[in-house]
Structure 1
Amino acid sequence: MATERLCLRRLESEDLEATWRYRQLPEVTEWITAAPATFGEYREHFLSEGRIHRDVAVEIEGDEGNKVLIGTVMLKVHDGWGQSEILDQARSVEAEIGWSFDPAYAGKGYATEAVRAVLELGFGALGLRRVIAESFAANDRSWKLMERVGMRRESYNRRNGLHRNGEWMDGVVYAMLADEWGEMLTA
């Protein structure tokens, strides 16, 4: 899949080193869900977590015409909540979206462009009805991206997430429905 400036493709095992380069940076590890301390631990995490089956690699064209991986976007599809008699109608209709990007490419709109493209995939080809995103409230870059792509804040939760620094921190949950996505596109 391609956007105006980006190539989006399924993450592959060969992307291990490219993602490690920026995911080990302190400004990235501060907020990501899992931050293995060594390359070996990261390799194990990367290959065992199913990332290569659900995550999207985000690339730009480099100076020499080569592709440069600048981030990843996760779209984890799951079942919606439903009453037992109609659970089959709630299967694979919702997803959680998340991302990590190399800070060297921040401020250029790449993350916004990539997340919008993955939302289009989710609400379009995958036929999702709802997508959510969560982050620590202190991670303002993340929730501001949620707002830029048109998601709305559904909750602000007091000290509901344990940060790796040992502190219980506030969290936010944002969401978007398929009809909200459609309305945004026609506005």
Structure 2
Amino acid sequence: MLRTVRPDDRAAIGAYCADPEVTRYLPFPALDDDGLTTRMDRLVAGTAPSTTGEILALAVEHDGTLVGDLMLRLAAAHSPDSSPSIAELGWVFAPSYAGRGFATEAATALIDLAFTHYPLHRLMAQLDPRNLASSRLCERLGMTLEAHTREDYAERGGGWSDTAVYGLLRREWESRDSGS
């Protein structure tokens, strides 16, 4: 089940976002209490994005347990009417629920929602290419690896990492069932 993130999700989100293995490839470190407060404030407020930079945050529940969260961020407005035409997808899941299809099912529903509710031309996901689970998820979603930029992201603790950019066009998503 997908639903908005609530303040009482703090313990569950805090549990997996405090794990350095979970956040190893994310743009934020393992969260302490202050970091979790900041993240929770943003997730709870992310209910109705309408302009560039705003997010929709959704909790993923299975049998009453929060197993992860998803984000859709309106990223750019290149359309003639200046409405957002590109959005970015992101996800974080508890490792104890990995490999059970929850991320694929939830991200598929979020993509459906994004293309149904917004006049988007494309969706994208940016990730560390060493994050093989997220790369495989992008591929299962029908996204195309469009770029691999080298050493463009400063790592925590020094050094540089690469970025993989996956994309999905509206017409590709709409034609997925018709075989055209």
Fold-level similarity (TM above 0.5): yes
- The equivalent residue for 1:74 is 71
Instruction: Work out the percentage of aligned pairs sharing the same amino acid.
Output: 32
Superposed displacement of residue 123, structure 1: 0.8
Partner of 1:137: 129
Which of 25, 50, 57 aligns to 2:19? It is 25
Q: Secondary structure at the match of 1:32?
A: coil
Partners of 1:45 and 1:106 in 2: CA distance? 22
Tell me the SS of whatever aligns to 2:117: coil
Match of 1:64 in 2: none
1:84-105 deviations in whole A, cap 9, x for unaligned? xx4x2x4122210000000000
Query: C-alpha displacement at 1:11, in angstroms?
Result: 1.2
Q: Residue 52 of structure 1 is aligned with which of 42, 45, 58?
A: 45
Q: Is the 8 A contact 1:36 1:42 kept in 2?
A: no
**Structure 2 regions of 5+ residues with no counterpart?**
47-55
**1:152 counterpart residue number:** 144
1:161 Cα deviation from its structure 2 partner? 1.0
State the secondary structure of the residue aligned to 2:176.
Answer: helix
Cα-to-partner distance string for 1:13-69 (whole Å, 9 max, x where unaligned): 22122100111112112122223542233113321x3553121100001xxxxx100
Identify the residue that residue 92 of structure 1 maps to in structure 2.
84
> How many angstroms apart in 1 are the aligned matches of 2:77 and 2:144?
19
Unaligned runs of 5+ in 1: 1-6, 62-66
Cα distance in structure 2, aligned partners of 1:36 and 1:149: 27
AA at the equivalent of 1:17: A
What amino acid is the match of 2:139?
E
Q: What TM-score, normalized to structure 2?
A: 0.87
Say which one has the larger Rg. 1
> Taking structure 1 as reference, are residues 158 and 98 closer, same or farther at Cα in structure 2, changes over 3 Å only?
same
Structure 2: distance between partners of 1:147 and 1:178: 16
User: What is the distance in 1 between the residues matched to 2:30 and 2:11?
Assistant: 13
Q: Structure 1 stretch 159-168 or stretch 143-152: which is displaced more?
A: 159-168
RMSD: 1.6
